Amino acid sequence: MRHGKKINHLGRTNSHRDAMLSNMASSLILAKKKRITTTVAKAKALRTYIEPLITKSREDSTHSRRIVFSYLQNKEAVTELFREVSVKIAQRPGGYTRILKTGFRKGDSAPMAIIEFVAGIEKKEKDDSIKAQDLTKEKATTKAKATAKVKAPAKAKAPAKAKAPTKVKAPAKAKAKEMPEEK
């Protein structure tokens, strides 16, 4: 029977599993878009590993920083967690991460998933946001131009209204025959 066996060992020793989850948690915290791609089993194990750390980071004290550092072993990840991530997730009562299944890996058909933070806490640098805004403006203008080009020929193909008949001028040769030649 499987009573009391909550931990998925992931086919690794305890020290290897702790090191792997610590590295994955640091990668998730330090990632620009706050998401990483991994297998479904590792994503579920990472969720149970990182959510208590995020709860600890809601209270910014030396004691809680040291406890989180004992798990992560990465100064940059700890400062990022306490300065940016915990501030944006402070209102949530739990459930800080989301697991999205993405299909199967090509080589061994392992089920893959993306694990990400729920609240929109992506790192947004000023330069990147300005560039993104410029790109969206360019895309909008090119789209507008493309639609204008498509619409312009459609207007030209509309049937023309009937005009009143105009006088047709006689060709120049006909006039020359009517006039007598001088010799």
Q: What is the pLDDT of residues 39-56, one digit of tens each?
A: 999 999 999 999 999 999
CATH number of 14-119: 3.90.1030.10
Q: For position 116, what pLDDT does the model report?
A: 96
What phi, psi does 98 have (nearest 5°)? -130, 140
Domain map of the chain by residue range? 14-119
- The alpha-helical segments, DSSP class H, found in the chain are 14-30, 40-57, 62-72, 75-80, 86-89, 126-156, 172-178
DSSP 161: P
- Residue 139 in contact with residue 127, Cβ under 8 Å? no
Q: For position 25, what pLDDT does the model report?
A: 97
Beta 35-39 vs 111-117: how paired, if at all? antiparallel
pLDDT tens track of the chain, all 183 residues? 999 999 999 999 999 999 999 999 999 999 999 999 999 999 999 999 999 999 999 999 999 999 999 999 999 999 999 999 999 988 889 999 999 999 999 999 999 999 999 976 666 555 555 555 555 666 666 656 665 655 555 555 555 566 666 666 655 555 555 555 565
Give the orientation angle of helix 14-30 with respect to helix 62-72, to 10 degrees. Answer: 120
Beta 111-117 vs 97-104: how paired, if at all? antiparallel
